[in-house]
Structure 1
């Protein structure tokens, strides 16, 4: 997303210490029915802010392009911004950022919490992976490779499901005499979404196959 990143930083530079430009932009936004609001400011150490800024630019892109076409500002920064906006790839990249913004930003904020169970971390990352595959397609291959083999906690996350009482009942075969101990069963009262059950089963299946083949 290098072009989108350049657009975001260039737009920020154009508006810094430039009240007249900001007023022109506000008028263009208002004319399109938007609020008189500046784009969020991306902070390099807070990934969510960059995603949210890209999403904001996607949603207001038509008003901003119109402003750039109509402004009489002839500065070098405006010319640079116009050149970036003329590339088709910009719209495509901002669209993709907007598509993953809500899901990834929410995941990041959840992962920043304390005492988050490891099984929840794994499921959350799997949901993010599904999202990036849907929106980014082949561009998500690096994340897929990382999650499937290079992540340092991959073995632990593959095994931790066996000790999660919320999911343990789902691994008992229908009609089996196997039962969870009452002490463990009393902990498994939280309602579990079907997507989580499917995810845990998909994680567990390769291990079952590997175990059977070993015998």
Structure 2
């Protein structure tokens, strides 16, 4: 009886050992007593989540700085000399947005190129409007930045305000996309985020929508 139990235990132990080897080596016994090798290849899982687009660091730094510039009072001696004239502040800020833009990166990204184009047109419109406000003082544009004449400049009109507002919105949306991975509230005025108000904004930029001042 003991012999039978001992033999049974040995058979069981050998069986477990064989199973362990088969699992480790991938050896499988098939019909006819033949043995074949199986190579098990684990296929890595492919993520279906959309990849976050990477932007040049300079674009992110520009966007962050411009959000601050456009949303806070401007510390510029010229603005103080002009008694903090509303339209003149728009003019100075719009110039800074374009001057500070890393233009050498435009060719690398078509969407960034579109945003820069719209910002440039808005800046040009604001600059033109500043000229219109001062043309009665000097038709050659010299009064545009002559702060000694600021009390004689024409009032800032609603279209100039709207142009500046669109500029702020574009910069804000670019910042959300570039620095925050597209997460957050947006104004919907950029190609980067497929904004639903981009066409409306561009109609204003190109003069298709009703506005005053551009053709004055």
Query: Which TM bucket (shorter chain)?
Result: under 0.3
Task: Say which one has the larger Rg.
Answer: 2
Q: Structure with the greater relative contact order (CA < 8 A, sep ≥ 6): 1 or 2?
A: 2
TM-score, scaled to structure 1: 0.28
- The structure in which a higher percent of residues are helix is 1
